[in-house]
Amino acid sequence: SLSLAATDMPPLPEVDGTVVEGDGNDYTLKFSIGTTQSGAQYRGLEYFKDIVEKRSDGHIKVQLFHSAQLGDDLQAVSALQAGTLEMTAPSTSPLVNMFPQFAVFDLPFLFPSPEVADKVLDGEIGKRMLEEASTNGLVAIGWAENGYRQLTDSKAAVSTPEDLKGLKIRTMQNPIHLDIWRTLGANPTPMSFAELFTALEQGVVDGQENPWITIQSSRFNEVQPYATETNHVYTPFVTLVSERFWNKLPESYQGLLVEAAGEMGRYEREVSRTLNDAIKQQLKDEGMQITELSAEQVATFQDTLAPVYDDWRDKIGGELIDDIQAIS
Ligand code: EAX
């Protein structure tokens, strides 16, 4: 079931190999992610590796790890802080305790389109967030995307909040997500991504939510016959470097990593969006029952979630949210 993503995966772009001079030393950089080898995120990492190895003329060696092999989102971030891993790119949601400003990405229905997300990530707000997240042993250097999240479950088709009554839904480790699913009438449990497939398979939880590409590349459809296209939250991936590693690098190589993270982020978002619809179709073809919501049905979810939105809007700070809405 991974074949379509693999064959539809656009070819890696040619890397312009203008060499960046270093300090004569060689470096090895391990880059680990939570999603699998067949997703858009890993494709982005392959491009990053290509750029960094070519432009450093082989002086920086990039080793890629996927499927949470070196830890899930939070474990990988801890490893960066400890200096035992050099790079990772988690969803922003599990990091809100450390970086409260990331919580805007958890507000339901705040990002109406990928274009608005790009303007936020690539504009002043995204730049400021990267600066603010460059602390606690981490250096934040760029944005990619996980994408718009969709609901899947094993019990029944869901088209209204009532259909969610009592459903056990796994969420990321994030208080807003817990609030969202509780308010919709479900029974949410936070859990690390690495444990999720087994939890779904064994019925520890009935459902979960992730973008189509992550659902398919993680084979959740094999244990989740139903899905609902909710688009309830847009999740970025933030590209992080261990500060310990960063401080060892000459400035020219720090610049190279920033440049490569930018190019990876633009490419990965393009791949993610190109594959999104194709993968939704493939999931249907493979027998997943996908419910597409009418505008009224989406409005019902939005109305039900209005208190969550208002409550967290006050906690996060209305100004940042106003700025994002002004972009929309
Ligand atoms: O690294 O936990 C999740 O649902 C995400 O897709 C995970 O952040 C991927």
* Ligand 1 centroid, distance to 90 Cα (angstroms): 7
**Residue entry with tokens 């939890």:** 199
Give the tens place of pLDDT for each residue, 244-282.
999 999 999 999 999 999 999 999 999 999 999 999 999
173-189 confidence digits (pLDDT tens): 999 999 999 999 999 99
Nearest-CA residue for atom 9 of ligand 1: 34
Instruction: State whether residue 211 is helix, strand or coil.
Output: coil
Tell me the helices (H) and strands (E) count for the chain, helix number first. 13, 11
The span from the CA of 131 to the CA of 222, in Å, is 40
Q: Going by CA atoms, what residue is nearest to atom 3 of ligand 1?
A: 193
- Tell me the average pLDDT across 64-88: 97
pTM attached to this predicted model: 0.96
Q: Tokens in use for 36?
A: 């699998």
- Looking up tokens 């990876």 gives 264
Question: Which H helix or E strand runs over 291?
Answer: strand 289-292
Assess: ipTM above 0.95. Answer: yes
What spacing in Å lies between the alpha carbon of 34 and ligand 1's midpoint? 6
- pLDDT tens across 126-171, in order? 999 999 999 999 999 999 999 999 999 999 999 999 999 999 999 9
Which atom of ligand 1 lies at the shortest distance from residue 94's CA? 8
Give the total residue count for the chain.
328
Is the pLDDT score of 238 beyond 90?
yes
- 80: nearest Cα among 244, 291, 323: 244
**Residue 59 alpha carbon to ligand 1 centre in Å:** 31
pLDDT band at 4 (very low <50, low <70, confident <90, very high): low
Strands 150-153 and 207-210: antiparallel
The rounded distance, in Å, linking the Cα atoms of 34 and 95 is: 14
Does residue 113 have a pLDDT over 50? yes
User: Do strands 27-32 and 60-65 pair parallel, antiparallel, or not at all (unpaired)?
Assistant: parallel
Give yes or no for residue 202 having a pLDDT over 60.
Answer: yes
pLDDT (average), residues 40-64: 98
Query: Which residue owns the Cα nearest ligand 1 atom 8?
Result: 91
Distance in Å, CA 194 to ligand 1 centroid: 9
Beta bridge partners of 170: 189
**Ligand 1 center from residue 178 Cα (angstroms):** 15
Pocket test for ligand 1, best of 65, 92, 146 (most atoms within 8 A of CB): 146
Separation of CA 179 and ligand 1 centre (Å): 18
Coarse DSSP helix, strand, coil percentages of the chain, rounded to the nearest 5 percent:
50, 20, 35
Ligand 1: lining residues by beta carbon, under 6 Å: 34-35, 73, 90-91, 146, 172, 193, 210, 214
Per-residue confidence at 6, pLDDT binned at 50, 70, 90? low
Question: Which residue type, as a one-letter code, is found at position 321?
Answer: I
Angle (CA) 121 124 127, round 5°: 65
More confident residue, 188 or 4: 188
For residue 1, the model assigns a pLDDT of: 40
State mean pLDDT over 205-225.
97
